[in-house]
């Protein structure tokens, strides 16, 4: 599993039939900054993931990639490589809260 910030949505009207009705989100992975572990630094890449939990833009989420992504509910026969599997409430690193969904640390 990985952490990411939802940066936007992706709309695709023409796609594999098994993907009809599935919401797609654009994710930016978040890495704990090795120089300052009290904050995140954004990853270099973006990822398109199927949303199965109802996440929204600017939320911090947990996502899974690869073959384990298809283990999410109702995705067994879908051609997916990434899926949002949770919305993050808080992140603690080395005993310090570095993220809180409410915005406070």
- Domains of the chain from N-terminus onward: 2-100 (2.40.50.220)
In terms of C-beta density within 10 A (0-12 exposed, 13-18 middle, 19 or more buried), how is residue 32 classed? middle
Q: Which of 14-23, 70-79, 81-90 has the lowest mean pLDDT?
A: 70-79
- pLDDT tens track for 46-78: 999 999 999 999 999 999 998 777 777 677 778
How far from 45 is each of 26, 62, 66, CA to CA, in Å? 10, 16, 16
Q: What is the pTM of this model?
A: 0.89
Q: Is the pLDDT of residue 92 over 90?
A: yes
Q: Which residue carries 């993220």 as its tokens?
A: 99
pLDDT for 105 = 54
pLDDT for 95 = 92
């Amino acid at each position: 599993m990985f952490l990411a910030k939802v940066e936007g949505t992706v709309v695709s009207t023409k796609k594999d039939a098994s993907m009809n009705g599935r919401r797609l989100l654009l994710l930016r992975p978040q890495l704990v900054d090795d120089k300052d572990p009290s904050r995140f630094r954004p990853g270099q890449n973006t990822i398109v993931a199927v949303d199965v939990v109802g996440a929204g833009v600017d939320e911090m989420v947990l996502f899974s990639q690869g073959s384990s992504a298809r283990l999410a509910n109702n995705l067994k026969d879908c051609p997916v490589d990434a899926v949002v599997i949770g919305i993050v409430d808080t992140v603690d690193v080395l005993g310090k809260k570095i993220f809180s969904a409410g915005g406070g640390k």
